[in-house]
Structure 1
Amino acid sequence: MDATPSTRTGARGRNPRGQGERLREEIVSTALRLLEELGDDEALSLRAVAREIGIAATSVYIHFADRDALVLAALERCHGDLLGAVDRAEASAADPVARLRARTLVLGAWAHQHPGLYKVLHESTLNRRTGMPFKRNFSIGTTAAVQRCMDAGLAPADDAAAVSLDLRAAVHGTVSMRVNQPDAPWPPLEEQIDRFLSKLVGVRPAS
């Protein structure tokens, strides 16, 4: 049985010749919206996506072999959008510590705005069934940001990759708990992030 929070009525007209890529992008955008609402990749079906757009299910299969392929394409796009937000936050920061703090806060803010996508991206069974190599870009960027703090003498010299892993584990832990236990008496995320940066990276807390 297909699971979808909403269904549009009416059939969609066929895309003009040469606009297959446009339909593919619409399929991905629709899948992202439904995944956000469902918070579970296994609750999504290709037929549900097709109904939401107003096309035949066969039109989805032309672009995606199965549900996992579509979900991966959707997650890769939203992860790319997240990295773009991280880049913009870092570009507006004044020094290596501020840049590391900015990129870390972006993840928390994004998860708060998109809890369903966060669950699918990091907590779904899809993570156990298939690899998501695009997620390495975030960890590589965080390791580089930690290394810049060390190189500038703003954090103790250490193994940047190990420190980055500790930091990401702590941040994902609090982000996941906030997503799954939203009514708990959480302190401001900024305060927790500053404690993580101080205790795990060794930088001075933000003034």
Structure 2
Amino acid sequence: MATTPAGRHIRNPQGTGGRLRADILAAAGRILESTGSDDAVTLRAIAREAGITAPAIYAHFADRDAIRRTVIEQTFTQLATVLTTAADTEHEPVARLHVVCHAYLDFAARRPHHYRLLFERHRAARGADAGPAAPDVGSIVGADAFGVLLQAADSCIRSGASTAVDPVASATRVWVGLHGQATLQASLPWFPWPPADRLATDVVRRMADLR
């Protein structure tokens, strides 16, 4: 959907397929951010926000779940980009792990509704035929984002900065700690939390078995 200089949305011309698909996804993202509710992201609401008719959506997405899955995949890709950019700023293994983890928490804080969607709807994102468990971490949705964390944890082990022996287990523990901090601080803002940076540093040090 196009926007006028005054900020007023106008309908897209018919037949703009690639742009229309992007507009549908952007509309779904705006609804999610403005309402904070995945349930509010309906086909009718998306069509209204994008300035199109609901049937036009079916040329690009089979149903609401298909849109949700794509939003999840896009958000994980954006998270991976943020983490990779952070990792590239540091070369020392421990500093790199910390900067990646702080970037993760910053992403979760800046985009809380998208972050929550990543995990609330993760089963839908894996698809109906994925089975009860993914065979390896490389096959899950979000593998690229986890991969950045895994590489950082592995570098700490290889350098001797961590006493851990299994990089996947180490990265998983760190991820659990980060997710716990991100979700609890969002859910319980009134709790007397210590400063977020200090808490994150302590969580990472303990979960990664840093010396």
Residue in structure 1 matched with residue 84 of structure 2 by the alignment: 87
Aligned-residue offset at 1:10: 7.4
Distance 1:10 1:25, change over 3 A: closer
Distance 1:109 1:13, change over 3 A: closer
Question: Which of the numbers 68, 75, 82 marks the counterpart of 1:78?
Answer: 75
Conserved in 1, the CA contact under 8 Å of 2:79 and 2:145? no
Where structure 1 has 5 or more consecutive residues not aligned to the other structure, the ranges are 1-7
Distance 1:130 1:84, change over 3 A: closer
Distance 1:144 1:13, change over 3 A: closer
Instruction: List per-residue Cα deviations over 1:121-168 (Å, max 9, x = no partner).
Output: 12x2x2344427321222232122111111112212411111111111
The amino acid of 1:193's aligned partner reads A
Instruction: List per-residue Cα deviations over 1:79-110 (Å, max 9, x = no partner).
Output: 21111111111111131111111111111111
The amino acid of 1:111's aligned partner reads A
Where structure 2 has 5 or more consecutive residues not aligned to the other structure, the ranges are 1-6, 128-139
Give the TM-score normalised by structure 2: 0.83
Q: How high is the sequence identity, in percent, across the aligned residues? A: 30
Residue in structure 2 matched with residue 56 of structure 1 by the alignment: 53
* 1:1-207 equivalent positions in 2, closer than 5 A: 12-15=11-14, 17=15, 19-122=16-119, 124=120, 126-131=121-126, 133-204=140-211
What is the RMSD of the two structures over their aligned residues, measured on CA atoms? 2.1
Conserved in 1, the CA contact under 8 Å of 2:69 and 2:125? no
Show structure 1 runs of 4+ deviating over 3 A.
8-11
Alignment length (residue pairs)? 193
Q: Whole-Å Cα distance in 1 between the matches of residues 41 and 53 of structure 2? A: 16
Single out whichever of 71-80 and 130-139 deviates more from structure 2.
130-139
